[in-house]
Amino acid sequence: MSLKALLKQHFSYDEFRPGQQETLELLATGTPVLALMPTGAGKSLLYQFRAKADPTTDLVLVISPLISLMQDQTTKARDLGIEATFINSSLSREEREKRMAQLADGKYKLLFVTPERFGRPGFMEILSKRKISLFAVDEAHCISLWGHDFRPDYAKLSEVRAALGNPLTLALTATATAEVQKDIVKSLGLEDQMQIMAQGLERPNLSLNVEEAYGLEEKTEALLKELSVKPGTTIVYFSLIETLRKVSQQISRKGFDHLTYHGDLPADLRRKNLKNFMRDESPLMLATPAFGLGIDRPDVRLLVHMEIPGSLESYFQEVGRAGRDGKPSRGVMIYDEEQDISIQMEFLKWGNPEAAFLKNLYRLIETRRAELDQGGMEFLREQMSFKNRRDYRVDSGVNILERLGCLAKSEDPFPWVALEAPSDEMIAMERMPERLKNLNMKLLLMLRWAKDEEFCRMSRILSYFGHETKPCGVCDVCRENFDA
Ligand code: ADP
Ligand code: MG
């Protein structure tokens, strides 16, 4: 049967999305593939297909850093009739052991795990009882020290792969520069073997626009202007919760009903707002960029950045959440060069805390559960003697510890639990001077892109990802040039 017929039979879709068929064809010949496809393009289908439509498959292993999405990914696979499960630190020990025993017994065709799982006692042994038909590395850019989201556990995946007998490998990412692509291939030990499939990166329906503003007041004015034309479903991103709150008050006063989503909201309210965002006809959401990951709302018509993001990778990934349904959509970045760059520079500084700081922070989280559940981030700030509300070192430290695999998300009032103290080796990697220089460079390129009024915005981003294209015709620069 043809791939297309299998698609129809198992997934009820008539057509492949760009890149899907090509990737599946390569995998069918045993060729490892790095698939670079934008968010929402249908990367999950690639491993689901191998789990569902290939009768020779024993186990498809999907490695992902995003614990918060695993339940959802598993549910989606189960809805497709795939015997799927996940194993990560959010499960009780009992539940985890139950799933591991079932796995060893040959149950499950699709398994989602976090990369740190391979280092846990007994896990590799259980996997060795199965044939890994596909080793899928989701969010593969996390493997690269030069990516914006490096995770040390990812760096060990080539060892894991080798220990599992070099199974057929599929790396997936929505965001990787040419440099990071090379790094992924190399880190997986697949130089000269892995094919890079970059497709569907073009977003012809997405118009990118940049507006310069001075100060928050002007930014808010610009935002209000965007909102006044009733744009439909809208997401507005903020780097700082404090700014989000201010703007939220301002636009409420002007009569714009909206939802919010950020780390300082209690978990139940976050859940409620997310539900309303999915349900309302044309919601307006003010959020930090963590909102949107894995959210399936294809009709986002307007996506606003209220500050300049730290890199073109982050920007493109975030703005790419608009217009997944293919209908005309607008991305608007409203930026204040001086203020935004200084915020980003502070983020970079906070993002590079001293080893002692990370260790102390970890110890507090490990040992002061009751006080944390009571006082949350504020308690941590006090303990680390940061009284200033605008000091985000503690928040940033918590995020780093999570990325390093030292903390895991939890359902407790303080939403993280301690797993493993950060090692000196981890911290040293994190604090490598080249890495910092690279992050600074990314910010600089982001700023240059914003200030450039000569080249098509979309094609500049795509060429940053190693993809040459014609001018898009719909960004502010192209429109200006066509008018002239
Ligand atoms: P991502 O690339 O971000 O991981 P997903 O795999 O979550 O994206 O897919 C986004 C949506 O696209 C899903 O709801 C999925 O069902 C849908 N989808 C995937 N492939 C196809 C296809 N060939 N035709 C129609 N819809 C598809
Ligand atoms: Mg995905």
pLDDT grade, residue 411 (50/70/90)?
confident
Mean pLDDT of 250-270: 92
pLDDT of residue 294: 64
Reply yes or no on whether the pLDDT at 19 is more than 70.
Answer: yes
Question: Other C-beta atoms within 10 Å of 453: how many?
Answer: 11
Instruction: Spell out which residues line ligand 1, taking CB within 6 angstroms.
Output: 13, 15-17, 20, 37, 39-45, 296
Nearest CA to ligand 1 atom 23: 16
Reply yes or no on whether the pLDDT at 68 is more than 80.
Answer: no
pLDDT grade, residue 4 (50/70/90)?
very high
Measured from the alpha carbon of residue 13, the closest ligand is 1
Instruction: State the Cα–Cα distance between residues 117 and 122, nearest whole angstrom.
Output: 10
Q: What token pair was written down for 53?
A: 């439509």
Among the listed residues 261, 305, 269, 308, the one whose alpha carbon sits nearest the alpha carbon of residue 286: 261
Measured from the alpha carbon of residue 174, the closest ligand is 1
pLDDT of residue 483: 66
User: Distance, CA 76 to ligand 1 centroid (Å)?
Assistant: 11
Measured from the alpha carbon of residue 43, the closest ligand is 1
User: Which has the minimum average pLDDT: 6-10, 177-181, 256-260, 350-354?
Assistant: 350-354
Single-letter code of the amino acid located at 131: K
User: Distance, CA 65 to ligand 1 centroid (Å)?
Assistant: 19
Q: What token pair was written down for 455?
A: 């080249």
Nearest CA to ligand 1 atom 16: 42
pLDDT of residue 455: 95
pTM (two decimals): 0.80
Q: How many CA atoms lie within 13 A of 34 on its CB side?
A: 28
pLDDT of residue 67: 78
Instruction: State the Cα–Cα distance between residues 376 and 157, nearest whole angstrom.
Output: 34
| pLDDT tens-place string over residues 366-402 | 999 999 999 888 899 888 876 665 677 888 889 889 8
Index of the ligand 1 atom closest to the CA of residue 44: 6
Instruction: State the Cα–Cα distance between residues 105 and 195, nearest whole angstrom.
Output: 34
The beta strands (E) that lie in 353-465 are given as 407-409, 416-418
Index of the ligand 1 atom closest to the CA of residue 38: 2
pLDDT of residue 413: 83
pLDDT of residue 289: 85
pLDDT grade, residue 293 (50/70/90)?
low
Q: What token pair was written down for 118?
A: 């391979």
Reply yes or no on whether the pLDDT at 484 is more than 60.
Answer: no
Instruction: State the Cα–Cα distance between residues 392 and 321, nearest whole angstrom.
Output: 26
pLDDT of residue 403: 84
Reply yes or no on whether the pLDDT at 7 is more than 60.
Answer: yes
pLDDT grade, residue 17 (50/70/90)?
very high
Mean pLDDT of 340-365: 88
User: Distance, CA 251 to ligand 2 centroid (Å)?
Assistant: 33
Among the listed residues 381, 371, 386, 220, the one whose alpha carbon sits nearest the alpha carbon of residue 304: 220
pLDDT of residue 405: 82
pLDDT grade, residue 190 (50/70/90)?
very high
Mean pLDDT of 419-444: 86
Measured from the alpha carbon of residue 62, the closest ligand is 2
User: Distance, CA 40 to ligand 2 centroid (Å)?
Assistant: 7
| pLDDT tens-place string over residues 201-246 | 889 999 999 999 999 999 999 999 999 999 999 999 999 888 999 9
Reply yes or no on whether the pLDDT at 409 is more than 80.
Answer: no
Place of tokens 């940033």: 396
The beta strands (E) that lie in 120-167 are given as 132-137
| pLDDT tens-place string over residues 303-349 | 999 999 999 989 998 999 999 899 999 999 999 999 999 988 888 88
Distance of CA 412 to the CA centre of its chain: 23
pLDDT of residue 228: 97
Residues with CB under 5 A from ligand 2 (ion): 43
User: Distance, CA 381 to ligand 2 centroid (Å)?
Assistant: 34
pLDDT grade, residue 118 (50/70/90)?
very high
Nearest CA to ligand 1 atom 9: 42
pLDDT of residue 126: 95
Given the DSSP bridges, would you call strands 110-113 and 84-87 parallel, antiparallel or unpaired? parallel
Average confidence score pLDDT of the chain: 91
Nearest CA to ligand 1 atom 4: 43
